[in-house]
Amino acid sequence: MKYVLFVCTENSARSQMAEALFNFHNRNPEYAGISAGTEPASAIRQGAVEAMKEKGIDISQKKPKKLTHEMIKDAKRIFTMGCIKGCPVTPQDKTEDWDLEDPAGKQIEKYREVRDEIECRVNKLVSEIR
């Protein structure tokens, strides 16, 4: 299995949405999406849960996960969400930063906007690995 790793600081919104959208849209059985955070929160942000539910994807039972060296080593590609630009723990040769705005503390509209941007990028990524 080849892993696509989505990383942000808390693993409570952007990277969780990216993981879920990748696994929802991906049809290549050789790939799976995972996500993690450098400083995981205690729970997924409610705005992310609501925004994903609108797409028919339930992330309400997901838990933020700590980024590990094994995840980094096993990942085929790594995408950071903009909060840890130039992340010192991920190898630059397989890391790309998506530079997405953090919706934390904002209204549901911002979560939708970020979700839709992630979905566009995920769809491009999925088409690349077909």
The residues annotated as belonging to the active site are: 8, 83, 87
Cβ-proximal residues to 56 (8 Å cutoff; 6+ apart), any chain: none
Cβ-proximal residues to 12 (8 Å cutoff; 6+ apart), any chain: 37, 40, 41, 43, 44, 45, 48, 64, 104
Amino acid at 37: G
